[in-house]
Amino acid sequence: MSLIVQKFGGSSVANAERLRNVARIITETRKQGHQVVAVLSAQGDTTDELIEKAAELNPNASKREMDMLLACGEQMSISLCAMAIQALDCQVISLTGWQAGMLTGSVYGNAWIKNIRTDRLRRELDQGKIVLVAGFQGINKYDDITTLGRGGSDTSAVALAAVLHADLCQIYTDVDGVYTADPRLVKSARKLDEITYDEMLELASLGAQVLHNRSVEMAKRYNVRLEVLSSFSGNPGTKVKEVVKNMEKTHVSGVAKDKNVARLALVGLADEPGIAFKIFSLLAKNGINVDIILQSIGRDESKDISFTVVRSDAQKARELLEENRDYIGFESIEVNDKVAKVSIVGAGMVNNPGVAARMFEALYGVGINISMISTSEIKVSVLMDERDTDRAVQAIHDKFYPEFGTVL
């Protein structure tokens, strides 16, 4: 008997009709002879609504109390879904994160899973029950409820699949797989049958919202078989795995955009060793992550350094740098939060010269200027005016995926 972990997102459980559909998918999997652990997110906009309720009473509520509140959404989903499964005459039990043995660190609002005690889960499975687990949550050493941050339910599902040695982890969403671009933006976007962990991790980190990057990292580390599919269509999904069949033929697996970006530029820095260390060690110590970095050629014993951060960190970064102007030694600082990042990802790029050039050709063809470039073995990212983002994604996708044609 195989074990399958299934995860259902907020849109999949948004109302009674959709909960019944999820209950049907879970029970059908059980009737096929599989043991089933299903991880559920909060319904629809429940989490946002709970945040609004908290803000009405105290906009500066402690993160501990926010975790107590936000964990309620997933608990409501699992109990309602359990009732729907009971109506289908199947044995089922719902468990909160802590009841399922999810032990976390103590960073409220963004806790990391430290361990999962599987005794209760295995006992319930051995009794023939479907087990529903509240995603996004766990418990710390103080017996306080914690939440796992953005994408936490994906992470919960993959972690459970890893410790239970599940045969498959299925992530059900409102799209029927991973596409070469956002199908809501690019009508000719194609669903991929399979994609590597590394490609999926890059796409998740670059703004693709199908899977959260923490869950993909964990799946790769523990070799968890992943499948992304729709809870609505019933169509086959996209398999995420270590190696895919046509890796060398498919130079580019996807195009992603990320508008949560700001660019900072330090002008008039001394052209001497240690300047970059001063800047980026200061930001790192204050929890600010830097993405793309560009340093100009030194002239007249001075240089400029530009870099990107997430938009919400831009003001904090500016204040830190201004406070340390004398220590770093720069003439001025410029901040632009009207930029966006567009990227191509593909494991086959490393052995195929000219992929970046074709991306730049596509942008040139539609008159889009590039302000920064970042590359790796499987990724090329460019920074541009955010007003050009959608046109850029479409142009790049058309270049690598001509409509009705094959990947070049």
Residue 352: predicted pLDDT: 75
CA 249 to chain centre: 26
Q: Is residue 41 part of a domain?
A: yes
pLDDT at 220 over 60: yes
pLDDT at 169 over 80: yes
Annotate 389-403 with DSSP letters as a single string.
Answer: HHHHHHHHHHHHS-T
Please give the C-alpha separations between residue 276 and each of 270, 279, 282, 303, in angstroms, as whole numbers.
10, 5, 10, 11
Is the Cβ–Cβ distance between 160 and 37 less than 8 Å?
yes
CA distance 95 to 104: 16
Q: For the chain, what is the domain count?
A: 1
Q: Which pLDDT tens digit goes with each residue over 284-325?
A: 999 899 999 999 886 778 899 999 999 989 999 999 999 999
Q: Is residue 313 part of a domain?
A: no
pLDDT bin (cut points 50, 70, 90) of residue 408 is very low
pLDDT bin (cut points 50, 70, 90) of residue 246 is low
Is the Cβ–Cβ distance between 342 and 370 less than 8 Å?
no
pLDDT bin (cut points 50, 70, 90) of residue 242 is confident
Q: Which pLDDT tens digit goes with each residue over 369-385?
A: 999 999 888 899 999 99
Q: Is residue 240 part of a domain?
A: no
Q: Is residue 160 part of a domain?
A: yes
Q: Is residue 95 part of a domain?
A: yes
Amino acid in position 11: S
CATH number at residue 15: 3.40.1160.10
Q: Is residue 50 part of a domain?
A: yes
- Lay out the sheet containing 254-270: strands in order across: 293-295, 302-309, 254-270, 332-345, 379-385, 372-376
Q: Is residue 116 part of a domain?
A: yes
pTM surpassing 0.85? no
What would the mean pLDDT of 58-66 be, rounded to a whole number? 95
Domain with 168 in it: 3-174
Q: Is residue 263 part of a domain?
A: no
